[in-house]
Amino acid sequence: MTNSFLKISNLKKSYHDANKDILIFDGINIALDKNNLVSIVGPSGSGKSTLLHILALLEKADQGQLFLNNEDLFKINENSKTLYRRNKISIVYQFNNLISDLTAIDNVTLPALINNIDKNSAYIKAKKLLSDLSLANRLNHYPTELSGGEQQRVAIARALINEPNLILADEPTGNLDHKTADEVFNILLNIKSKDRLIIFATHNRELAKKSDIQLAIQNSNVKILN
């Protein structure tokens, strides 16, 4: 067993195309603790999104184990996986997937309502999260009425509302200008905690360098850069 919050053992993954297999991970091993902001760099197509999707239980590995708090998440049933995705693991995307006909506060509240939090508490919590991310005066704006950086902050608030222990972000700054990318990165840095691990994929070497742990995907393996 392990003491790390998150542990990946001998994880293998290939995609199968009509003519050939594409090897993505050839038995990777990673151990990470909470209170870290972890970056993943790697060329386009190296498997960054695949790794995050496997960690989010949205994609299956071919082989290997994924432990979160010593529980093997590849072994649990679909109901338990759904509960993990609702409560413990959140994902933030490059194109933030906000629901376009819901306001900022309704987007943030939605995962809490799905999680059976009462409406009043959910709204209070969403308002606090958005205010903490300097969006107190954007609560009733629709996504199209927000800048890219503001949309991404709403997506982060939405990812936070159920207080997950693991936040995964797939190129969360990929679509933002330099200054806004820095701001979003600083938010990620601020929301790591003793109860939370954050892993983000990025092409931005500058930001990767400022993370606590830098991982790189190379030749179907993951190595630690620092």
Ligand X SMILES: Nc1ncnc2c1ncn2[C@@H]1O[C@H](COP(=O)(O)OP(=O)(O)O)[C@@H](O)[C@H]1O
* Count of other CB atoms within 10 angstroms of residue 137: 9
Provide the minimum distance between the beta carbon of 63 and ligand X in the complex, in angstroms, as a whole number: 17
Closest CA to 32 of 54, 56, 9: 9
**Binding site partner of 46, from ligand X, Mg ion, none, Cβ cut-off 5-8 A by kind:** ligand X
Q: Of 54 and 155, which CB lies nearer to ligand X in the complex structure?
A: 54
Instruction: Give every strand in the sheet of 89-92, ordered side by side.
Output: 89-92, 166-170, 197-201, 37-41, 213-218, 221-224
Among all residues, whose Cβ is closest to Mg ion? 49
Task: Choose among Mg ion, ligand X, none what residue 22 binds, the Cβ cut-off being 5 to 8 Å by kind.
Answer: ligand X
For residue 219, what are the CA distances in angstroms to 19, 46, 68?
21, 8, 26
The number of beta carbons lying within 10 Å of the beta carbon of residue 13 is 23
Residue 100 has φ and ψ, to the nearest 5°, of -70, -25
Longest dimension (CA), the chain: 54
CB of 16 to ligand X, least distance (A): 7
Binding at 47: pick from Mg ion, ligand X, none (beta carbon under 5-8 Å per type):
ligand X
Q: How far is the CB of 215 from Mg ion (least distance, A)?
A: 14
Q: Which does 15 bind (CB under 5 to 8 A by kind): ligand X, Mg ion, none?
A: ligand X
CB atoms inside a 10 Å sphere around CB 188: 21
Separation of alpha carbons 104 and 35, rounded Å: 28
For ligand X, the closer CB: 41 or 191: 41
Rounded (to 5) percent helix, strand, coil in the chain: 35, 25, 35
- Residue 21: name its binding partner from Mg ion, ligand X, none (Cβ under 5 to 8 Å by kind): none
Among 39, 49, 151, 211, binds Mg ion (CB under 5 A): 49
Interaction partner, residue 78 (ligand X, Mg ion, none; CB < 5-8 Å by kind): none
Nearer to ligand X, 24 or 157 (CB): 24
Count of positions on this chain that bind Mg ion (CB under 5 A):
2
Which helix (H) or strand (E) segment holds residue 121: the answer is: helix 119-132
Binding window for Mg ion (CB under 5 A); candidates: 48-56, 64-72, 75-83, 181-189: 48-56
- Interaction site with ligand X (CB under 6 A): 15, 17, 22, 24, 42, 44-50
- Among residues 19 and 77, whose Cβ is nearest to ligand X? 19
Is residue 204 at the binding interface for Mg ion, with CB under 5 A as the rule? no
